[in-house]
Structure formats: structure tokens, C-alpha cells
């Protein structure tokens, strides 16, 4: 290990920055955020650096560097593009035994700046020892996606109760077991969900020995239209901590693979006239699993509240007092349209958009047709493959031009995406000539004509 990672408390301490330009600005931001008092020395100092100096209660010295500038400083930063000057600053600091960092010159450094994930009071540092700073930043970017900002709030919760827990458990092993249970259970779930007051109440009850019997929780998670990259950070976090996953037919295998490896997986998918499990039984299963203390992810394609029956499921959970969270997902209309290069609204073509389902609860396609034929409106139909001929016929019958552009998207946002474009008059025949399977989405409106210019996600998928 070439560098020993340490965290330096600079609050109220004076730090010298030699240089007043863009290089100095990057370091000065970090130093000011850490509470350091800045002393900046340079013939010219930029406006943003001056603002940071003022914020820190520091001083600016408008001249060249002298060795006496190190007086009273606990850390030295050489941030100029003058290599001989940087080398001199490094030599002076080392002579005094003061830590020094020279930007982009590891050989002149006694300390280096890592790439930082700031979830204060939780702080994570990544370093390559100065050899590959870009790689360190890329790794930091990955950590940023895995560790949501609410983890800082969780660390803050622990800080507020630390002394109580230490008094309760004098043995370090007991304290470790206590906090591991807190950080992996419902208390952490409440804090990470933004319910800080409830998390504090549960933690205090746990300390007082009055914790209620463990009750599970249900997470209604929108898995998006198919591309795993479209999952939200919260969705991924909850998927990776669930004990049981109930998933739909529209959830892509690549997304299901992101769930916790040892979680039980239960298929409850539905397709036309073939329901693996009736909806009322799914609702009851969610209740039963939560009462067993399980953390349950109800994983749904698209968004749980857009033709996903999420409202029906949480009504049942609420009736039984089961805690739940709802994680929105990118609905198919938005995701598939974007990947097909079809904007749902456009100032020149459509001033509104309407989402409807092409398959009603009673199995018909009896829609409010008169409300769906406005020429300045984009119409998006979910589950419209089987009823496509009727849908197109009725839209034409109720006033929409037979020449209105229309598109059908199959398995949108995935590598198997196919897009069929035509008009209300010929789209059903065009689709019938190809082997098309659900999931599909139908878009009707002038915006479909923009696909020819805007399609970007072509890859291996077909377009007809």
C-alpha cells in the first residue's frame, strides 16, 4: 500500500493554496466544504476562488509565493501550471514536515486527494495513488449510483443514538450486532424512505426493549419497460434487499437478475385469458408474506400506477396495516416512445398526450372513442395488439383521418425492439404480415412522422 488512507479534520484549520486559477478552484471547493480556512497566494485570483476565501473566513495574497506563506498552515496545496514553482512549494513543505499536495504530480506529494463520495457524515474515498485518477473518478461514479444520499441520514441517525447504545452495550461485539440489526432491518428502511421520525421512534423503542413484533414490508417497484439501465436507484436498492420477489410477465429477465440472489422468486404474471395467479390471491399473498416478517418486492413492468394494478394492491395492504413503499418506474409509453424516436408531444404536432388501455377489465375494447380523435393529441394504447384492427377502425369511424400516422412498438427499449410504422388504415395489415408478440405499445398521431429523423436506438432491432 503506497498511501495510507486517512481522514483529516480541517475545520477551523488554515490551509495554504498556491495558485488562483481553475486548478486552485477545484481544490479550494473541497477545502472550503470541509471547513478549512483558506490562505490563497497568487498574482491573480479568480472571482470564484475569492468567493470561497470570503466564505471560509480566509485571506487572499496578491503576489508571488514566498516560503513564509507556509507559516501557521497545516496543509499545503500547490495548484499552478508552473512546474518549478510547484516543486519549490513541495520542497519547502517537506522541509517543515507539513503535508503537501501538488496537483497532477504524485511524485511531489506527501498526501493525495482521493475521489470522494460525500454522504456526510458518511464519506467514501477512492484512490489510485495518483496513477489513474480518471479510473478512481469512474469508480466513484459507480458508487454514487449504488449509495443514495439518504445513507448520510442513516449515519446521522446512528450518531444521535450512539451514546445511548454504548451505555446499553458496554461490549463492542454486542454493539456491533445491535447496529448490524438496525442497519439491515425496518429501522433503516424507514430512514432510507425519508420517514426519519418513524425511524427514530422505532430505534428508541428497540433501545428501550419495547420494539414491536417484527412486521415485514412490501415494496411496489416499477421495473420500467425492459432496459435494466432505466431502473431507479431506489428500485435497485430495494430489489437487492428483498426476501421475496413477486414478479410479472413483463419484467425482463435481465432486471430480475438484479434482485438479491437468495431471494425467493414467485411468478404471478398475467396475459390475456391466462392468469398465473388471480389478482385477489396476489393481494392476499403480499399481506401474508409481510405478516411473516418478510421484505417483499412486488416487481411490475413499467410503472405500478399506470395500468399496473398497483392501486388495488396497496389498498389491500393499507387495509391490513402493512407498511409499503411505492417506487415509480418509467412507464412503457415514455420509455418505448423515446427508444423508438417518437416524441409524445411536439409544438408542431401534438399539444397533449393520452394513455389508454386497449384491453378493458370486461375483455372488450369499448373505449370513449369521441374523446380520442383530436388531431392535436397523441394517443398511446397499452395492450392493444389483439384489438388493433378494432381500435384503428373505431378511431377512423369516429373522425380520425385514415391517413393518421401510427406505430406499433414490440418489446421496446430491449435488444429485441421492433417498430412498425404506417397509418390507421394500414397498420393492422402491416402487423398481421409479421409475427408480432406482446408486449407491444401503439402510438397514434402526427408525432410518429418524426421517427424517420429521430430514431436512434436501432441496433439489431427491425423497423418496418
User: Burial of 341 by CB count in 10 Å (0-12 exposed, 13-18 middle, 19+ buried)?
Assistant: buried
- Is residue 44 a known part of a binding site? yes
Catalytic, 264? Answer no
Tell me what pLDDT residue 459 has: 46
- Is residue 225 a known part of a binding site? yes
Report residue 448: phi and psi, to 5°.
Answer: -60, -30
Homologous superfamily of domain range 333-454: Tetrapyrrole methylase, C-terminal domain (3.30.950.10)
For residue 166, the tally of other CB atoms under 10 A from its CB is 11
In a 3-state reduction of DSSP, which class is residue 126? strand
Catalytic, 181? Answer no
Residue 225: which region, alpha, beta or left (left: phi > 0; alpha: psi -120 to 50)? alpha
The Cα angle at residue 353 between residues 352 and 359, in degrees rounded to 5? 150
- Is residue 332 a known part of a binding site? yes
On whether the pTM is more than 0.75, the answer is no
**Cα 424 to Cα 429: distance, rounded to the nearest angstrom:** 10
The per-residue DSSP string of 357-403 comes to ESS-TTS-----GGGG--TTEEEEEET-STTHHHHHHHHHHTT--TT
The half-sphere exposure of 197 on its side-chain side, counting CA atoms within 13 A, is: 0
- Is residue 335 a known part of a binding site? no
**Cα 9 to Cα 11: distance, rounded to the nearest angstrom:** 6
Q: 462, 362, 363: which is closest to 419 by C-alpha?
A: 462
Q: Which CATH architecture has domain 14-113?
A: 3-Layer(aba) Sandwich (3.40)
Contact 220, 304 (CB under 8 A): yes
Helix axes 172-183, 150-168, angle to 10 degrees: 150
**Cα 426 to Cα 433: distance, rounded to the nearest angstrom:** 11
Helix axes 22-33, 47-56, angle to 10 degrees: 20
**Cα 127 to Cα 111: distance, rounded to the nearest angstrom:** 11
> Which three cell numbers, joined as nine digits, stand for 104?
497532477
The domain limits of the chain are 14-113, 150-208, 217-327, 333-454
Rounding to the nearest 10 degrees, give the CA dihedral for residues 443, 449, 451, 453.
-170
DSSP letter assigned to residue 288: H
**Cα 147 to Cα 252: distance, rounded to the nearest angstrom:** 24
> Which three cell numbers, joined as nine digits, stand for 387?
384489438
- Is residue 301 a known part of a binding site? yes
- Is residue 303 a known part of a binding site? yes
Helix axes 310-319, 279-291, angle to 10 degrees: 40
**Cα 76 to Cα 263: distance, rounded to the nearest angstrom:** 51
Task: Identify the active-site residue in 248, 262, 288, 371.
Answer: 248
CATH of the domain spanning 217-327, picked from 3.30.499.10, 3.40.1010.10, 3.40.50.2300, 2.160.10.10 = 3.40.1010.10
Q: Which residue has the cell 506529494?
A: 109
- Is residue 383 a known part of a binding site? yes
- Is residue 43 a known part of a binding site? yes
Contact 195, 189 (CB under 8 A): no
Per-residue pLDDT of the chain (464 residues; tens, 9 = 90+): 778 888 999 999 999 999 999 999 999 999 999 999 999 999 999 999 999 999 999 999 999 999 999 999 999 999 999 999 999 999 999 999 999 999 989 899 999 999 899 998 899 999 888 888 899 989 998 888 888 888 899 999 999 999 999 999 888 888 888 898 898 888 988 898 889 999 999 999 989 887 666 678 899 999 999 999 999 988 998 998 889 999 998 898 999 999 988 899 999 986 555 556 788 999 999 999 999 988 899 999 999 999 989 999 999 999 999 999 999 999 999 999 999 999 999 999 999 999 999 865 555 667 899 999 999 999 999 999 999 999 999 999 999 999 999 999 999 999 999 999 999 999 999 999 999 988 999 999 999 999 999 999 974 445 56
> Which three cell numbers, joined as nine digits, stand for 459?
441496433
Contact 436, 407 (CB under 8 A): no
Task: Identify the active-site residue in 33, 118, 243, 270.
Answer: 270
**Cα 444 to Cα 344: distance, rounded to the nearest angstrom:** 10
Amino acid at each position: 500500500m503506497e498511501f495510507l488512507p486517512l481522514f483529516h479534520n480541517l475545520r477551523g484549520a488554515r490551509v495554504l493554496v498556491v495558485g488562483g486559477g481553475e486548478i486552485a478552484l477545484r481544490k479550494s471547493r473541497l477545502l472550503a466544504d470541509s471547513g478549512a480556512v483558506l490562505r490563497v497566494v497568487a498574482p491573480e485570483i479568480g472571482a470564484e476562488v475569492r468567493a470561497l476565501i470570503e466564505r471560509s473566513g480566509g485571506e487572499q495574497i496578491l503576489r508571488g509565493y514566498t516560503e513564509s506563506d507556509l507559516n501557521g498552515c497545516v496543509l499545503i496545496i500547490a495548484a499552478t501550471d508552473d512546474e518549478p514553482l510547484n516543486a519549490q512549494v513541495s520542497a519547502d513543505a517537506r522541509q517543515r514536515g507539513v503535508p503537501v499536495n501538488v496537483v497532477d504530480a504524485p511524485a511531489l506529494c506527501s498526501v493525495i486527494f482521493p475521489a470522494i463520495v460525500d454522504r456526510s457524515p458518511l464519506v467514501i474515498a477512492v484512490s489510485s495513488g495518483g496513477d489513474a485518477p480518471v479510473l478512481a473518478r469512474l469508480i466513484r461514479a459507480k458508487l454514487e449510483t449504488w449509495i443514495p444520499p439518504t445513507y448520510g441520514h442513516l449515519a446521522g441517525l446512528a450518531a444521535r443514538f450512539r451514546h445511548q447504545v454504548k451505555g446499553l452495550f458496554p461490549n463492542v461485539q454486542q454493539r456491533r450486532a445491535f447496529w448490524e440489526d438496525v442497519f439491515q432491518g425496518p429501522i433503516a428502511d424507514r430512514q432510507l424512505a425519508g420517514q426519519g421520525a418513524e425511524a427514530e421512534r422505532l430505534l428508541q423503542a428497540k433501545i428501550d426493549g419495547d420494539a414491536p413484533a417484527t412486521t415485514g414490508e412490501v415494496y411496489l417497484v416499477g421495473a420500467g419497460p425492459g432496459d435494466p439501465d432505466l431502473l431507479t436507484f431506489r428500485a435497485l436498492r430495494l430489489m437487492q434487499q428483498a426476501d421475496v420477489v413477486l414478479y410479472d410477465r413483463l419484467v425482463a429477465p435481465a432486471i430480475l437478475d438484479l434482485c438479491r440472489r437468495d431471494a425467493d422468486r414467485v411468478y404471478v404474471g398475467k396475459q390475456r385469458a391466462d392468469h398465473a395467479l388471480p389478482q385477489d390471491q396476489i393481494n392476499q399473498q403480499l399481506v401474508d408474506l409481510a405478516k411473516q416478517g418478510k421484505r417483499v418486492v412486488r416487481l411490475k413492468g413499467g410503472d405500478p400506477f399506470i395500468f399496473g394494478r398497483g392501486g388495488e394492491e396497496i389498498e389491500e395492504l393499507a387495509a391490513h396495516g402493512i407498511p409499503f413503499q411505492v417506487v415509480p418506474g418509467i412507464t412503457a409509453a415514455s420509455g418505448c416512445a423515446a427508444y423508438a424516436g417518437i416524441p409524445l408531444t411536439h409544438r408542431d404536432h401534438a399539444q397533449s398526450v393520452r394513455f389508454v388501455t386497449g384491453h378493458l377489465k370486461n375483455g372488450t375494447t369499448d373505449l370513449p372513442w369521441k374523446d380520442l380523435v383530436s388531431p392535436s393529441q397523441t394517443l398511446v394504447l397499452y395492450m392493444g395488439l389483439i384489438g388493433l384492427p378494432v381500435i384503428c377502425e373505431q378511431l377512423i369511424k369516429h373522425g380520425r383521418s385514415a391517413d393518421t400516422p401510427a406505430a406499433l412498438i414490440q418489446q421496446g427499449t430491449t435488444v429485441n425492439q421492433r417498430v412498425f410504422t404506417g397509418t390507421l388504415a394500414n397498420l393492422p395489415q402491416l402487423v398481421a404480415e409479421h409475427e408480432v408478440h406482446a408486449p407491444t405499445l401503439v402510438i397514434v398521431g402526427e408525432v410518429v412522422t418524426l421517427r424517420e429523423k429521430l430514431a436512434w436506438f436501432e441496433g439489431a432491432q427491425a423497423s418496418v
